[in-house]
Homo-oligomer: A and B are copies of this chain.
Amino acid sequence: MSRDIPLHGIVAYPITPFAQDGSVDLPKLRALIDRLLTSGVHGIAPLGSAGVLPYLSDEEREAVAEAVVSHVAGRVPTLVGVSAMTTERTIHHARFAELAGASALMVIPMSYWRLTDDEVFRHYEAVARAVSIPIMAYNNPATGGLDLTPEFLARLIQIPNVTMVKESTGDVNRLHRLVQAAGEDVAFFNGSNPLALDALVAGARGWCTAAANLIPQETLALHDAVRRQDLATAVRSFRRQLPLLQLLVRSGLPRTVAAGLEIQGFDPGPLRLPLRPISEAEREELRTILASLSSLEAA
């Protein structure tokens, strides 16, 4: 068991590209990973929300985990999403990812029936016991349907290898409360794009973001400015990218990132139904936003 915290900085969430026949397009996924690695992000996190984890079959999930981890090949740490409705399936995917060589695992309690605190705690405990690599506990009621308080998250990271927290409610008070409950050394990451500035100021170790698919340099610039305490630069960078971060939330990560990649000349293939492309008006807004951000990215 390890209290390692293998991640920091900009943790990029690639989308999962699909071929025209609807199958997962692994070659294109590798190309997307290459783009991200070239941009200098600090970590790669396949099978997150942006990667439409819940829309993939078990086999597809395994193929993506294997492909990404082996393609990254240790150049940066990998954080593989292994959540599932049942504890049994979560353990299955956790073990698979560990064998594939993942640096860490991300687990969100996927809820249909509102789980009790005890059920969530023992779910994490069972998964954590089944592997030896570090786990990031993840709170995102908007997608997962269950809300874990900062105080409960502080309890979760007392499980031996649950060493990291990702918080995505978008409420900065949660982050401050997490530090109060778990101590200043708690390794927490921000998962709410429009909260990027505030979370880094509040002490987040990193920013888990799908924005890095489209504007990696800008996300890195914001992160670096806060790290060197250059508040004025950080605020300027944040304000520049905020319209994109808001659009990502409003129109949904997989739809918006796919449209943005297409605008940037990288064809991501179709979305998996029921997901459909953003509207033409949203696409136009996205085009304008990306154009205004392109100078730094081109540099």
Partner-B contacts on A (CB < 8 A): 22, 49, 52-55, 85-88, 109, 112-116, 118-120, 122-123, 126, 142-143, 145, 170-173, 176, 179-180, 184, 194-195, 197-198, 201-203, 226, 229-232, 235, 238-239, 242-243, 252-255, 272-276
Contacts and interface: CB of A to CB of B under 8 A. Distances in A.
Contact of A230 (B201, B229, B238, B272): B229
A173 B194 contact: yes
Contacts of A180: 239, 242-243
A138 to B, nearest CB: 13
Contacts of A243: 180
Given A49-B113, A114-B142, 20 more contacts: A54-B85, A55-B85, A55-B112, A87-B273, A87-B274, A109-B274, A112-B143, A113-B254, A116-B276, A119-B276, A123-B274, A172-B198, A176-B238, A176-B239, A176-B242, A197-B201, A198-B202, A201-B235, A202-B235, A229-B229
23 contacts: A49-B112, A52-B112, A54-B112, A109-B274, A112-B143, A113-B253, A114-B252, A116-B276, A122-B273, A122-B274, A123-B274, A126-B273, A143-B145, A170-B173, A172-B172, A176-B194, A176-B242, A179-B239, A184-B239, A197-B201, A197-B202, A198-B198, A229-B230
Contacts of A120: 274
Interface residues of A, dominant DSSP: helix
Nearest to A109: B274
Most chain B beta-carbon contacts within 10 A, residue among A176, A179, A242: A176
A87 B274 CA distance: 5
* The 8 A-B residue pairs with the shortest CB-CB distance in the complex, in nearest-first order: A87-B273, A123-B274, A54-B112, A229-B231, A119-B274, A198-B198, A113-B252, A87-B274
A68 B260 CA distance: 47
Most chain B beta-carbon contacts within 10 A, residue among A114, A201, A254: A201
A254 B126 CA distance: 21
A242 B122 CA distance: 32
